[in-house]
Amino acid sequence: MPTCDQCGNDYDKAFQVIKAGRTMTFDSFECAIQALAPTCAHCGVRIVGHGVEEGSSIFCCAHCAKHEGATAVRDRA
C-alpha cells in the first residue's frame, strides 16, 4: 500500500499530488493541506482558500494583512 508522506500511514486509497515536479503521496486531504498549504503571515492559519497577497507575503484575509501593514489588499465579500 502507498505510504502517506505526511503522517506515514499505509492506506489503500492514498493519492498523489505533483507540485513543481515533485510527487507526494497522501492518505487524506488533511495531510495534503498540512504539507502543502501556505500559512498566514499574521495568524499562522493554513490557507486553504484563495488568501490575499501583498509583496512576498500571503495572508488568510485582508484583516490579517492590514495588521501586518498591507495597504493594497481587500476582501472580496
46-63 pLDDT, tens digit per residue, is 999 989 999 999 999 999
Task: Domain of residue 32: give its range.
Answer: 1-36
Res 76: pLDDT:
67
pLDDT band of 39, cuts 50, 70, 90: very high
Q: Is pLDDT of 77 > 80? A: no
Q: Which long-range contacts (CB under 8 A, 24 or more apart) does 19-22 make?
A: none
Indicate if 26 and 44 belong to the same structural domain: no
Identify the bridge partners of residue 53 per DSSP, sorted by sequence position: 58
Indicate if 45 and 22 belong to the same structural domain: no
Res 73: pLDDT:
84
Over range 16-43, report the average pLDDT. Answer: 97
How far is CA 36 from each of CA 2, 7, 40, 63, 76, rounded to the nearest angstrom? 18, 13, 13, 23, 24
Indicate if 43 and 30 belong to the same structural domain: no
Indicate if 7 and 20 belong to the same structural domain: yes
pTM listed for this prediction: 0.82
